[in-house]
Structure 1
Amino acid sequence: MNNTQLPTFFISHGGGPWSYIDDMKKQFAKTARELSQLPASLTCKPTAILVITGHWEESEFTVSTAASPPMRYDYSGFPEYTYRIKYPAPGSPALASRVRELLGQAGISSKEDPHRGFDHGTFVPLFLMYPDASIPIVMLSLKSDYDPLEHIRAGEALKLLRDEGILIIGSGLTYHNMRGFGQADATPVSEQFEQYLNEAISEPNPVNRAEKLINWETAPAARLTHPREDHLIPLMVVVGAAGNDVGRRIFVDKVFNVAMASYRFGD
């Protein structure tokens, strides 16, 4: 067991396979730089990574169990070569089993998927963080009911992983309205909602923090920012796993007139 507790992160992962496309990488230059520098901020190298991805939802929490996960090219309209990208990180059946064990101990039912591959919410940021693809990765789905409290409780069940050398990452976006990207009025909308999120994750009392996030729909421009909250809910799992650790904004990138923030919990 690793004696150093790892932090946990929520990352705004951007659009499509941008980290593999030169022109898009220039647009996301700040995100690319920050993610590439993130591993150096950790006190130790993770033994494995658990990704809660906004691109996977099931009726129950579901864990990827493949030892060699395939790729999922879950985007369209990009250059042909982006459908041949390989991010050959191994999976970890042992970690997948541990995730299900911890969820079960908390009374949370789960399933497993031996065929699930890396979606772009997983491989795009991790390619920047760990380009050698040497660290095992397991993915955890969202529950399709999007219940914020249920996802916070799942994170609480998994927080012990942070003491076991596991890096927990929620991959989504602080703004995800496909009709809004590139529109001038998206800027104030995305900034207003992100300000609410930043205040919520910075709340030192974990009970008050959870309450603010459970009631996210009361935030300014909430439904303009997330007509469907699939890219927001990974944050709830991260907040649960954070325990008493206060969150902080680590960077905000502005792409397609939209503010996209990423957060860190713990040192």
Structure 2
Amino acid sequence: MANALPTYFLSHGGGPWPFMKEQYGSTYDVLEASLADIPRQIGMRPNAILVVSSHWEEREFTLSSSAKPGMIYDFGGFPSHTYQVKYAAPGAPELAARAGILLAQAGFNAGLDPNRGFDHGTFSMLYPVYPEADVPVVQMSLRHGFNPQAHLDAGRALAPLRDEGVLIIGSGLSYHNLQQFGPSGRLASHAFDDWLRFAILELPPAERTSALLHWDQAPHARMAHPREEHLLPLFVAYGAAEHEAAACVYHEDEFFGHLAVSSFRFGHSAQP
């Protein structure tokens, strides 16, 4: 694993935010800077990117297998121009097949979807990282049931991809309660984010894994994640680098004026 790429769990922001600078002003400046720094951190151009999307759920883990994925505008109420955005990264059918084999070897009934396009959890997050859209991308779904152990095991199964130049990214949000995305979310977001950063950054690997698997026992866990689809990509990214060092690569205490949010890297950075 000496040359293995790190993995990431990234808080991807809301909707098509990179394409709404006039509307959002400086709201996303810190997040955008953290995403734009990822190529420097990994120190090489990946052969491909595998994005575990919080906006795609299937009965079994499923991988997008089109060579030319389309777009999915899975948001509502945004300016008309955001429904014309194109992130024209190529797909990687070979990577989709390879990941499917690794998952099958771990006992999962993984599937391929040749019609799945990029949802905003992928294209909005990747645009600041690789704005030229010239790195092949495969999306992977969550699995219904939202079992954290299954998603951790999927990450473990996919770990060999890191040695093959594949950048594994779990795309979600460390706080995702849209009913309390203002002042009413301050307490829950800060309490849960404090716990999450402690668990990931301070606990030894065995304790860290146990703590994360029991995330719903954390302070204000179900207030921070009434439905955990935006947290589950963390387990895949973490499982692929379970015993390696972690770093917080993005943190804000006043996101949208009130919320605490974070992103994490697992595995070593090529650059300090």
Correspondence for 1:263: 264
Correspondence for 1:248: 247
Is the Cα contact below 8 Å between 1:155 and 1:239 reproduced in 2?
Answer: yes
The alpha-carbon distance between structure 1 residues 242 and 204, as it changes in their structure 2 partners (threshold 3 A), is farther
Q: Secondary structure at the match of 1:123?
A: helix
Counterpart residue identity of residue 190, structure 2: E
The alpha-carbon distance between structure 1 residues 200 and 261, as it changes in their structure 2 partners (threshold 3 A), is same
Deviation at 1:33, TM superposition (A): 1.1
Correspondence for 2:103: 103
d(CA) in 1 for partners of 2:67, 2:248? 34
Q: Deviations over 1:4-58 (max 9, x none)?
A: 2100000000110001101325211100111112211112110000000100011
Deviation at 1:203, TM superposition (A): 4.5
d(CA) in 2 for partners of 1:203, 1:214? 16
Greater mean alpha carbon deviation, residues 136-145 or residues 104-113: 104-113
Q: Matches of residues 16-35 of structure 1 in structure 2 within 5 Å?
A: 16-22=15-21, 23-24=23-24, 26-35=26-35
Residue 207 (structure 2) pairs with residue 213 (structure 1): no
d(CA) in 2 for partners of 1:248, 1:186? 25
Q: Secondary structure at the match of 2:135?
A: coil
Aligned residues: 265
Deviation at 1:88, TM superposition (A): 0.2
Correspondence for 2:127: 127
Is the Cα contact below 8 Å between 1:60 and 1:110 reproduced in 2?
Answer: yes
The alpha-carbon distance between structure 1 residues 61 and 48, as it changes in their structure 2 partners (threshold 3 A), is same
Correspondence for 1:189: 188
Q: Matches of residues 49-64 of structure 1 in structure 2 within 5 Å?
A: 49-64=49-64
Is the Cα contact below 8 Å between 2:10 and 2:263 reproduced in 1?
Answer: yes
Q: Deviations over 1:136-186 (max 9, x none)?
A: 00011000100000100000000111110000000000100011112x131
Is the Cα contact below 8 Å between 2:47 and 2:135 reproduced in 1?
Answer: yes
d(CA) in 2 for partners of 1:151, 1:46? 23
Counterpart residue identity of residue 261, structure 1: S
TM (norm. structure 2) is 0.94
d(CA) in 1 for partners of 2:117, 2:24? 24
Is the Cα contact below 8 Å between 2:60 and 2:108 reproduced in 1?
Answer: no
Correspondence for 1:90: 90
Segments of 5+ residues of structure 1 without an aligned counterpart are none
Is the Cα contact below 8 Å between 1:16 and 1:120 reproduced in 2?
Answer: yes
d(CA) in 1 for partners of 2:121, 2:244? 25
Residue 10 (structure 2) pairs with residue 11 (structure 1): yes
Segments of 5+ residues of structure 2 without an aligned counterpart are none
d(CA) in 2 for partners of 1:156, 1:92? 21
Deviation at 1:251, TM superposition (A): 1.6
Deviation at 1:3, TM superposition (A): 7.0
Correspondence for 2:175: 175
Deviation at 1:207, TM superposition (A): 2.5
Counterpart residue identity of residue 30, structure 2: K
Is the Cα contact below 8 Å between 1:198 and 1:248 reproduced in 2?
Answer: no
